[in-house]
Amino acid sequence: MYITTVELQDFRNYESLNLSFHPKVNLILGNNAQGKTNLIEAVYLSSLGKSFRTANDVEMIQFGKKFFRVKIQAEKKNEDVCVEMAVSKESKAVKLNGRKIRKISELLENVYIVVFSPEDLKIVKEEPEKRRKFIDRELCQIKPLYFNRLARYKKILLQRNTMLKEQKPKLSLLEIWDQELCEYGSRIIIERAEFIKKLDRISSEIHRNITNGKEKLHVQYEANVPFMKSMDEQQALFLEKIKGALEKDLSRRTTSVGPHRDDLKITINGIDIRKYGSQGQQRTAALSLKLAEIMLIREETEENCILLLDDVLSELDEERQNYLINSLSDIQLFITSAELSEKVRASLPEGKTFYVTEGKIEEEKKCNTESVIESLK
C-alpha cells in the first residue's frame, strides 16, 4: 500500500497544501524548523488518528487559526482509502471513505504506518514507558480490539488512582475498579506476550544479519504481573497481586501493579544492553526492532506498511544506512533530512524529491534528457 495524496489546511505551519507522492521514495529536504516533520506527521494521522509527536490534537492547529483539516488518500491491494480529519479546540471529526466514524478504533486496519525517528534510536536505553509505547503503537495498528482494551484499562487506572488520592478511599469501590482492571489488564498482558514472542523471533534474525552473525539479540517480556497461558489464571494472579499491594498503593496513592508497569528486557549475547550496551549496540538493536515492526505488519495483515524516516539516516553510520535502505525496496518511504549525500540518494529506489521552506513545498523537476537533445537540434 502507499499514500497517493495529502491535502492540508491550517495544519502546523502549512496554510494550504495539496501534494501527490511517489509510491516508492519521497525525499523531503530542507533546513530545520521549515515543516518537514509537520508534513509526515499529517500523513501519520491516517494510521492511528493521532500524532506521533503530541497527545494534544489542538497543538497541530496553525497559530491564530480556529481549526485544521487534513485529507489523506491511499491505495491498497483491493481498495482505495480516504481519511479526513478536522480538529478545532472544541471538537474532532474523522471520516473514513466519506463516512463519519464514531470511534478511532474504526480507523485502524486501513493505513499501516511505521515512524522511525532519532527518538526511536534511544528506545533501548530510555525509560520503560518508551518501550511500552513502542509495543502499544504496533498492537493498536494491527488489533483494534487491543486499542479499545488499552483505552478502557487506562480509564479505569485513572479512576482508581484518583480514588487512592482521596483522604479516605472507599475500599468497596476500589474492589470494583480492581475487578475491571484485572479483566482488561489480563487481556493486554496476553496480547503483549504473544506480540513480543513474534518480535523476538523476527528482530533476532534481522540483528544477526546486520552484525554478520557476531551478536545474538533477545527480546523478553518483563511483565509486572507474570504471564499466564489462560485468561482465568491471568486474572486470578492479577487480582491476587493487586490485593497484596493494596496497603502499598494506599500509602503511595498510586497503582503499583499492572501492565502500565511492564518493560522489555533487551539483551545481546546475554548482556542487558539497556544498562551495559554501547551506543552502537543500542542503536543497532533499535534498528532491528523497527525493521521487525515492519515485517510483523506484513506477516499479520499481508499488507506492506509505509515507513516514515524522520531525520534518522544522518544518525546511522554508512553500513546501517545501507542495510536499512536495502531492506525497504518494496515499501513506500518518506525520508526527511536537512541534506542527503549523493551516495545515499543514488542507492535509493526511484521517487520524488521535495524541498521545504517555511511551510512551502517545491518539487524537484527531473531533467528530461530527450527533450534537451531535441531542443539542441
Model confidence pLDDT, tens digit, residues 149-196: 999 999 999 999 999 999 889 999 999 999 999 999 999 999 999 999
- The C-alpha angle with vertex 158 and arms to 265 and 119, in degrees rounded to 5, equals 40
Say whether pLDDT at 371 is over 50.
no
Cβ burial, residue 283 (10 Å; 0-12/13-18/19+): buried
Phi then psi dihedrals of residue 3, to 5 deg:
-80, 135
Query: Residue 366: what pLDDT?
Result: 63
* Length of the chain counted residue by residue: 377
User: Which span out of 61-70, 134-143, 311-320, 333-342 was modeled with the highest average pLDDT?
Assistant: 61-70
Binding-site residue numbers are 30-37
Query: Residue 318: what pLDDT?
Result: 84
Binding-site residue numbers for ATP are 30-37
CATH entry, 123-302, from 1.20.1050.90, 3.40.50.880, 1.10.3470.10, 3.40.50.300: 1.20.1050.90
Least confident of 27-31, 102-106, 347-351: 347-351
Question: Domain coordinates of the chain in residue numbers?
Answer: 1-112+303-377, 123-302
Say whether pLDDT at 73 is over 50.
yes
Query: Residue 339: what pLDDT?
Result: 84
Query: Residue 242: what pLDDT?
Result: 96
Phi then psi dihedrals of residue 124, to 5 deg:
-70, -40
- Listing from the earlier edge strand, what are the strands of the sheet with 2-11? 14-20, 2-11, 67-75, 80-88, 92-96, 99-100
**Rama region for 129: left / alpha / beta (φ>0; ψ in -120 to 50; rest):** alpha
CATH superfamily of 1-112+303-377: P-loop containing nucleotide triphosphate hydrolases (3.40.50.300)
Mean pLDDT of 339-368: 85
Of 321, 149, 124, residue with least CA distance to 231: 149
